[in-house]
Structures are given as structure tokens and as C-alpha cells.
Structure 1
């Protein structure tokens, strides 16, 4: 399902793909997991990681576990010399693997923590932009996620546990992006992924987010745009929103909302693609 909204006589129409959920509201947990899974999709489809993010996370955890087990084995005095040499060699390999991935995994963890902290402050986030490129203003690809809050989320603290509703909403989002050929074009070599969030000026998380009031990206870039809403809010809500002047994103516009850039930019992992091997 698609909708279009004009940006003015000189601007092209904005096309949104509508994503509906049966949930009564788009709470912080739903938004967190949609953004998190979209980040994983972007990194994998644009060849910034060698496998899906869940597999990389599991592999990283397993390497840490294996390294600790090898350390325990080496501490045993009865270990044979040949087996000890084998363990030392394997420990060296595992440690190299950990070092190769630890900066990436640390940034992923920091970004997710930052997003959770922001959502805990502002559960009704309106818009997120994910930029893949050398900088937010010089993107290669842009993914725009808008969240309609006709039914505001309760102020209760989000638990960020991924339930069936969040799983289903993420799958819908990924399918919608694939149907629009998202990720079909990639560039060799690692680049960066930036998280931009539109939120009230009252947000105060200086260790994680910096205000970027004048954030703009090149008009040459055509973004992939998804808009999430609750099925129960009905079509009238969108009609009322569409009648508001001066909007550029298809969501509630307010002078109190500005862009914030997450300080934890994710840099892709260098690896050989099948074509290079």
C-alpha cells in the first residue's frame, strides 16, 4: 500500500509504503526492533557484513566462549605438550577473529543502547533516517522510517523484549523494502551507517546524540520510505495529517522537533565477497 504527499510545487512527491500493525499503539519496543532489524537488513544487503547480523552476533559470542574454554584447558597442568601447542594456536586464531569484529560489535551495542535510552525518554518517536555513506549529508542510500502516533504509546517504561508483534512488523518492513529493490545496488568496501532521529529539543543525551538542526541530504538521493501505523487508527487520521501545511515527511510537523545524530556510526566489516574470491 502506497501513499504520496507533495513537498511543494518544485519538489517531487514523496512516496511512502504503508506498514500496518494490529497493535493498539506503536510503543517504544516496536519502534526499537523495527529500527534495529532495518539496520541489520541495510548492513547485510549493502555488503557491509558477511552474514546477517543475528549470525554475526552469535558467532562473536561463541568466539568469546571458546576463548575462555581454551584458557581453562591451558591452565590444566596435565595437558600434553602437543595439545597445548594446538590450543595456543587456536587461541591466537580466535583472538584475531574477536579483534576483527569487536569494534563493529561494540558500536552496534552502543547504538542500540543509545536508541533504547532515547526511546525511554521519548517513546513516541516520529521519524528515523538511516544513512549509508561517508557522511549523513553525502549518502549513498537513505532509508526513512516514519511512525504515526494517532494512538500515543503509554508512558510505561519499554522492556524492549522482542515479541510476536515486533517480529511480524519487522518482517513486513523487510518485505516492503525488498519489493522496492532496496539493497540491489552496492559499492565495494566498507562504509558507514548513520542513525538520525527526529525528536523534541528537550532530548538531553550528549554522550549518544548530537543535535543537527540543519540536517539535509542531497536531493539527488531517492530514499526508501516506510510509514508505520496502527490499523485501528483508521484512514481519517491520515487525511487529517495530509491537510497540514508545511510538512516534508508525512508525519506531524512541529517546530519543537529537530534532528539528532547518533554518535555511534557503524562502519562495515571488510571482507571478501564471493565475486572477489
Structure 2
């Protein structure tokens, strides 16, 4: 494979590091008190993602938003993510939705999860992503006050009942890849596809697993052409078709969680391969590149 001539476009790969039993769809069926007794599979799945990213000759850096609960039990995994050149960021401690916490509880969650990760890697943690994109104006203000450089919790798709919303600065063009809320704090929204007045979820997760790879890539090209950056998200459990099944969950929740798990890893690898002419940056590096 010969040298790659990079374009001026960027892709931000982000991974929300949580395990199969910690997802919001299963919260009614798997009590928090049972988490320590569940089968922990996040380490193996995250290693598979790390190895996948290492398979490419060109640099592929990513940002891993890690639950504090996971970090406490697998500090070695957090250190390995950091040592392989990826960014360690916070996903909160126990996957509690921001708008279900009191102000004091959320403030403590933001500070505690940040310090926990920083103590493990000996490096500043700059980014935060709210569980299930449950952001709000109040939460965003607390993220800023907790000392983060950026938040990446805004998902503009309104068809999902759990996603939050927040007031962001007005821009000349719709759907910018970065909002500068102040000189020292920024918002990196997940990318969605806008066609006319219609907004289609295109940032990753279950939507990525549902879409045919070629169709997904057409949408990514459209987003890159318009904004110059595509922000993608995924979870380690999404490449694990052998994970335990929560059979008592509602059929719709099971569909969302289990659809097309078997082919997700290969689809991700092909997505990265098809876009190797673009730069794969961490979220922090992207913010700094836009500021400089």
C-alpha cells in the first residue's frame, strides 16, 4: 500500500466505553446493584477496536469516552488506550442521564470521573460525553465549569426520546462540526445528514449497523463535502455478537441493541479503509486545530 495524500477533511472516531449491561435500553431489566456480578466483556471488545485501528499504515487516532465504573475495574485498559496514542475522555461514572441527576450530583459526577481518569493516565482529560446524549443548557454549563475543553453530547436528531438539547451559538451554515461556546470551551456535535429540511441520523451506533455500508459512505461524503468533518460514535459491545442476551427486554429494545452485531466490526474496518485519505483526529486535536 503506497503513501496516502491527505485531504483537508477530518474524521473523528469516538467510542463510548461501556459494557453490554450498562446501556439505557436495559436499565429496567438489569439493576445497578447487579453490575459487579455481570460478565465484563468491555476489555476484550475494546482491545479488538484498538487492534483494528492499528491495522492501518496511516495514523488512525480516536477518542474513547470511558465510564468511570469501567475505569475503576480496568485501569490497565484505560492506560493502554492512552499508550496507543488515543484520547481518554469521560463518559461520566455510572451511565446516569444528566437530566435525571440533581445539579450537585451531576457536578460531582463530572469532577469525579475526570479526576479518576486523569489519575490513571497521568494526563489531563479534556472531553466529556453525556450518556445517551442527555445534554441540556444546565449540564453544558456544569461541564464547562468542571474544567473540560470540550463537550461532545449534542445530537441534533430529534426522533430519539432520550437525547437532550442545548442552546448553541448561531452559525452562518447549518450543522457545523464545532461550536465555540467561549474561547476555552467548545461543543463537538455528532454528525447527522441533512437533505433539504430533513435530518437523518448518520452519526453511528445502531443507525450505522442498520445502514448498508455503501449507503452510509455516500452520506459521509455528503457531510464531509459540506462541513469538512464527520464525527462518528460507536460502543465496544456493538462488535460483540456473542454477548449475553437480555430476553426479558422489550422487543424494540432488543432490536435496537442486537441488530447486525455480527457484521459491525467488518463494516467499521471497511469504513476506515474507505476514508484513509482523510485525517483521523482525536477530538482534542480537532479543537486545537480549529483554534490555531
Q: Which has the higher contact order (CA 8 A, sep 6+)?
A: 1
Which structure: greater helix fraction? 2
Q: Which has the larger radius of gyration?
A: 1
The structure with the largest strand share of the pair is 1
User: What TM-score do the two structures reach when normalised by structure 1?
Assistant: 0.25
